[in-house]
Structure 1
Amino acid sequence: MLKSLSLVAALLLSAISASPTSKLYPRDPCGGNTPTTRSKWCNYSVDTDYTAQIPDTGVTREYWLEITDVVVSPDGFTRPAMAVNGSIPGPTLVADWGDTVVVHVSNKLTTSKNGTSVHFHGIRQRNTNQADGVVSITQCPTAVGETETYTWRAEQYGTTWYHSHFAVQAWEGVYGAIVINGPATANYDEDLGPLILSDWSRATVDQLAFYSKRNLIPPFQDSGLINGVNVNPNGAGGKRHTVQFKAGKSYRLRLLNAAIDTHFKFMIDNHRMTVIAVDLVPVQPYTTTVIDIAIAQRYDVIVTADQGQRADNFWIRAIPQLPCSLNKNPENIRGIVYYGDAPSTPSTSSYGYLPSCSDESEHRTIVPHISKSPQNLANAEKSSQSVALELQNNFYMWTLNGTSMEVDWRNPTLTQVLNGQTVFERNDGVIELPDANVMFYVVIHTLLPIPHPVHLHGHDFFVLAQGTGVYVPGITPLKTTNPLRRDTAVLPGTGYLVVGFETDNPGAWLMHCHIGFHVSEGFALQFIERRSEIPGLADTGVLEKTCAGWRAYQDANAIHQDDSGV
């Protein structure tokens, strides 16, 4: 983990302090969950339908996070950035399945004068839409000097992350992992925690975002980081992230792609990986040597330390896929697995692969452990969205059905709903879902040879169809028997993605491309789900207090909104 050159001097203490660390906090495992019985979890198990039954732990995990301007040197090159509690990535938030999580986020960005927010990616936020942390949708930005508190329930388990949802701030360093302990579909000896992959540039992300808007070809990244560190491509500073293995042991690694514009292929030389979870969905285990991990996706894997006779040191590789990810040093994003007492430079070779930006689910069948199938799909409502790129006022903007999202920091959707507004501007990208507990599906298609990782807030979705070519209703087959469920899936270039979900969570929920430049350039829409139930779930006092603080701060500092608003 990269620590800033000017660490926060003091942090508030809490019952569970979120101090910068890349390891799991010590904890007593739930009864029955041992290296040989990972499927057990107290009175529950991996066979428990976590969408219907959730442990009532009575435990609240409380964290205090400070967002600050910092100067960092993750690979030996120094530049300004932003950090959470002084580190990139920020501290890992840890909870057990069923816990309540309270996160206090303080904006200390006194140099950049940015607003901020924190979104808890993949967390369902059932009946807690206001804690989703999306500016212009569920809140106004948190002004400098102010603190926002988010409270939500850990109804799922596995690996995910939190990140800013203000402009492109997340990729300046405002992100970190979330680990929710629970059962697993395969046994392992030790949980080594998150392994966060990211791209990195010597230019600031704001500079890259401006370049992206003015140019058809996206900007090159200089390199990348693994858990916040790497070596300089020119050999002048930095360090490799290292992981120690002990022969014969099996380890759980929680892979997470936090990049702004990089699709990775991940591997550990000479080692095989058994995948046990995709995003926050436990899956039937499968074994592979190379994993495609798109932006914002997560894969929990088990690796057995069975190669110590071959070598003492092995490369960990996160390889940007050049068909969709421009990087000046694509072979330099590496860490080291070592078997001895100390790491040294490996001499191992990578597994072979074909460069591609495919989703894992495009070339293999991934089966959720808890079987679910979409109901009454034939009669479900749907929306068809065509993706395009347009030049508008000398800036490139992404459109869905000809419209780029442009929502207002100062007037979030949630406020408008609470004020009784029923008519929205076209650029708000609103789709109304008034009916409860019915299936809805979205067909997204593109003629451009550019893949997009599409993320839906507030839900896991069924991946009903995904491929290249033209989607033809009634002819293109939909997978309707226990299809893959997740919260982020790839729309293939010159192809289609069909996803479906049940309207079981009232709120205003964003759906967007998770390439940071693309969402900033308008690639997003939002669902207002079960509008009539939203007022009973919102705290209007907190919402308006945050908005009043932001409006005053924005006016006093003449801050101009120059992106989509999300």
Structure 2
Amino acid sequence: MHIVHLLSGLTAIAFPALVAAAPASSDLSPRQSDACEFDSATAPNCWGEYSLDTNWYEEAPDTGVIREYWFEVVNKTLAPDGVERMTLSINGSIPGPTIEGDWGDTFVIHVKNSMENNGTSIHWHGIRQLNSSEQDGVASITQCPVAPGDSMTYRFRATQYGSTWYHSHFSLQAWNGVFGGVIIHGPASAPYNEDKGIIALSDWFHRTTDQLYATASSGAPPTAQNGLINGLNVYDEGGSRFETNFESGKSYRLRLVNTAIDTMFRFGIDNHTLTVIASDLVPIVPYETDMVNVAIGQRYDVIVKADQEPGNYWMRAIPQITCTTNEMTLNIKGIVTYDDLAVEEPVTEAWPYDDSCEDELTSNLVPHLSLDVGAATSETVMDVTLDIVGGFFKWKLNDNTFLSDWGEPTLEKVLTPGAVFTEQENIINLNETNTWTYLVVESQLGLAHPVHLHGHDFFVLAQEPMATFSDDSPLNLSNPPRRDVAMLPAFGYLAIAFTNDNPGVWLAHCHIGWHTSQGFALQLVERNSEIGDITDLDSLQDTCAKWNDYQDTNNVEQEDSGV
């Protein structure tokens, strides 16, 4: 059981007045120029001097616009599905506020830790953090945790565009409520009339993740009591459904985000076809489907046309029971209503589907911008295994369980002469510049894992269930899917590639929260000699000094992997 824990009980606690999150500029209209004027319905591929065809790995706008937000992380009793429990949240809501801006804008987010006995950090999931590794927000990797009463300001430029999310990267805090959406406006690969924004899909427990960690680490993963759509659902006689309205004949963009700790969701709207236009932060050649499988941490942007008879229709997020359990498997639903009709309980039926914990077909996930993969300069093959140590599960990569130190982050150690790194820090050093690295993760266990890489999009070279990787295994090097989370299949392997184009320290890990805490992770130290020139070491060490003082004064003991 974690020593750093939530307050127990359901007594409401009074907090100081919260500052509502708000952008520094209220103008979120797309950038315009004579070169190419964006219009989502008639010119979705345009974006001023840039467009859908721009290679954003090599060039991106710099608008000079600052989008500034204020976050306060607090303990608060909430009841997202009608059942009260103690939560951790940003500005008192679950999800936290969506941050929003344009491609090329700079985000400045001030984070104050007002919790009573937790550190925190905020990770901007999928954001490459080009030349800004220290802004990645990973406790024990790029920073020390922000101590209670302390604050930290994150600053980064959006060199990508699309839909993603932020979440705490301290222990299991994200899944007690510390998460929210991110929208970066930019061009799109298909037209639409209106943007409905983030649709956050979450599993939900009526006990805290800290209370459940011992169970998750010594037996079967705990069964979630519920799932939420944008922080809402019903349970027994309580709670309420997420609702949204369509106008007949219009088309709508929905930005799907799986924020769960241990659930792959299959998403769909009864009777409506989805046109998928992006996977993670990568625009793709559009394809149509009835439902889409969204793995933990993944995002899909879909367009839905309101082309059915006016009425009420179920929006469904269905946990895939091949790899998870949930008390409300078929009752995690929202309501789509047409033309401002009265909201009523729909009577529509779900699309037929096969329960599966596999990604969408790679043949469907064709990036709009075609890029090929070069020959590998570095290749690492890692076997995933599971061990039991002292009665608790420990995940291993090549027989090594990941362990880092909250009080001595890797980024600081890299910049400290004579620092000693341990085998358990699972470091891969990448010192070449702009060469290709291949990583292969292989597992002969009957469980699929969503693998997430920080600091990069990666190219999915192969994703094979029931197979063993070898030198003869075929790899797709011709415009393969690019994303930042992909499923490692059960009894199989995942092969990915990326270029060494982003100096810094980057985490790679399974995005099942239990598994991350149990040691399923590694880290990359990329282009070590350049890291010092892009890092504010004084600021990093100031956060660490405050954390270490708090940790020592309160006898805080780290009992998980550190990430």
| Pair 1:116-2:120 in alignment | yes
Superposition pairs of residues 199-218 of structure 1, within 5 angstroms? 199-215=203-219, 217-218=220-221
Match of 2:224 in 1: 221
1:456 aligns with 2:462: no
C-alpha displacement of 1:395: 0.8
- When residues 421 and 430 of structure 1 are mapped into structure 2, their CA distance, relative to the original with a 3 A threshold, is farther
For residues 246-257 of structure 1, the aligned pairs below 5 Å read: 246-257=247-258
Whichever residue aligns with residue 511 of structure 1, its letter is A
Contact 2:69 2:99 in 1 (8 A): yes
Aligned equivalents of 1:350, 1:9: Cα separation in 2 = 45
Is contact 1:159-1:298 (8 Å) kept? Answer: yes
Partner of 2:38: 33
Number of the residue aligned with 1:230: 233
Structure 1 partner of 2:303 = 302
- In the alignment of these two chains, the number of paired residues is 547
TM superposition shift of 1:482: 0.3
Per-residue Cα deviation, 1:163-212 (whole angstroms, up to 9, x for no partner): 00000000000000000000000100000100000000111111222211
1:137 maps to 2:141 = yes
C-alpha deviation, 1:14, in angstroms? 7.5
- Which among 42, 52, 73 is matched to residue 58 of structure 2? 52
Mapped to 1, the partners of 2:193 and 2:13 lie a distance apart of 37
User: Residues 92, 564 of structure 1: CA spacing in aligned structure 2 closer, same or farther, 3 A cutoff?
Assistant: same
- TM-score w.r.t. length of structure 1: 0.94
What is the one-letter code of the residue matched to 2:311?
Answer: D
CA distance in 1, matches of 2:365, 2:80: 35
Asked whether the equivalents of residues 246 and 305 of structure 1 are also in contact (C-alpha less than 8 Å), the reply is yes
In the alignment, what sits opposite 1:334? 333
How far is the alpha carbon of 1:30 from its aligned partner?
A: 2.5
Match of 1:173 in 2: 177
Q: Match of 2:72, as an amino acid?
A: E
- Alignment partner, residue 343 of structure 1: 343
Look up the match of 2:111: 105
1:73 equivalent in alignment to 2:79: yes
Residues in 1 aligned to 2:418 and 2:360: alpha-carbon distance in whole angstroms: 41
Shift of 1:52: 1.6
Aligned residue for 2:440?
Answer: 443
Conservation of the 8 A alpha-carbon contact between 1:6 and 1:86: no
SS in 2 for 1:361: coil
Give the deviation of 1:474 after TM superposition: 3.2
Q: Matched residue of 2:38: which SS?
A: coil
Q: Which moved more, 1:73-82 or 1:28-37?
A: 28-37
Corresponding residue for residue 266 of structure 1 = 267
Closer, same or farther: CA 422–500 of 1 in aligned 2, 3 Å: farther
Aligned residue identity for 2:48: C
- Unpaired runs of 5+ residues, structure 1, are 19-24
Report if the CA contact (8 A) 1:7-1:86 is conserved: no
| Alpha-carbon distance, 1:5 to partner | 7.2
Contact 1:91–1:176 at 8 Å: present in 2 too?
Answer: yes
RMSD over aligned CA atoms reads 1.6
TM-superposed deviation, 1:478: 0.3
Instruction: Give the distance between the partners of 1:383 and 1:426, measured in 2 at CA.
Output: 16
* SS of alignment partner, residue 471 of structure 1: coil
Q: Per-residue CA shift, 1:348-388, capped at 9, x if unaligned?
A: 000001111011135x43100111111123xx311111011
Helix, strand or coil: the match of 1:58?
coil
1:404 corresponds to:
401
**Whole-Å separation in 2 of the counterparts to 1:289 and 1:12:** 41
Partner SS, residue 53 of structure 1: coil
Q: Give the percent of matched residue pairs that are identical in Structure 1 and Structure 2.
A: 50
Question: C-alpha displacement at 1:16, in angstroms?
Answer: 1.7
Post-superposition Cα deviations, 1:47-100, rounded to whole Å, max 9, x if no partner, equal 111112211211111111000000011111100011101110000011100011
1:176–1:115 CA distance, 2 compared to 1 (3 A) = same
Is 2:510 aligned against 1:550?
no
* Residue number in structure 2 paired with 1:394: 391
Q: Which amino acid aligns with 1:517?
A: W
CA distance in 2, matches of 1:352, 1:561: 46
| Secondary structure class of the residue paired with 1:16 | coil
Give the secondary-structure state (helix, strand or coil) at the position aligned to 1:353.
coil
Report if aligned partners of 1:505, 1:529 keep a CA contact under 8 Å in 2.
Answer: yes
Unaligned runs of 5+ in 2: 1-10
Contact 1:276–1:282 (CA under 8 A) maintained in structure 2: yes
Residue 286 of structure 2: aligned partner: 285
Deviations 1:228-261 (A, max 9, x none): 01011x2x21000001000000000000000000
Q: Hey, what does 1:432 align to over in structure 2?
A: 429
Report the secondary structure of 1:534's partner residue: helix
C-alpha deviation, 1:471, in angstroms: 3.1
Shift of 1:9: 5.0
Q: Which residue of 2 aligns with 1:21?
A: none
- 1:283-333: per-residue Cα shift (whole Å, max 9, x none)? 0101111101000000000000001x2x50000000000010111110111
Runs ≥4 residues deviating over 6 A: 4-7
Question: Aligned in 2, Cα 1:6/1:267: closer, same or farther, shift over 3 Å?
Answer: farther
Alpha-carbon deviation of 1:117?
0.3
Q: Distance in 2 between matches of 1:350 and 1:547?
A: 51
DSSP-derived class of the 1:88 partner = coil
Please tell me the residue identity of whatever aligns with 1:33.
Answer: F
Q: Which moved more, 1:64-73 or 1:418-427?
A: 418-427
Secondary structure at the counterpart of residue 424 of structure 2: helix
- What amino acid does structure 2 have at the position aligned with 1:508? V
Aligned to 1:152: 156
Query: Contact between 1:198 and 1:258, CA under 8 Å: does it hold in 2?
Result: yes
1:314 aligns with 2:313: yes
CA contact (8 A) 1:509 1:527 kept: yes
Change (3 A) 1:14 1:323: closer
132, 149, 156: which is aligned to 1:128?
132
Supply the distance in 1 between the matched residues of 2:385 and 2:552 (Cα, whole angstroms).
34
2:372 pairs with 1:373: yes
Query: TM-score, normalised on structure 2?
Result: 0.95
TM superposition shift of 1:11: 3.4
Q: Any conservation in 2 of the 1:17–1:64 contact (CA below 8 Å)? A: no
* Alignment partner of 2:462 out of 465, 476, 496: 465
**Aligned partner of residue 188 in structure 1, secondary structure:** coil
For 1:389 and 1:15, how far apart are their aligned partners in 2? Answer: 44
In the alignment, what sits opposite 1:355? Answer: 355
SS at match of 1:180: strand
Partner of 2:189: 185
Deviation at 1:486, TM superposition (A): 0.3
Confirm whether residue 539 of structure 1 aligns to residue 536 of structure 2: yes
Closer, same or farther: CA 279–220 of 1 in aligned 2, 3 Å = same
Is contact 1:201-1:222 (8 Å) kept? yes
| 1:22 matched residue in structure 2 | none
The correspondence for 1:85, drawn from 84, 88, 91, is 91
Q: Distance in 1 between matches of 2:493 and 2:22?
A: 47
Letter in 2 for 1:430: I
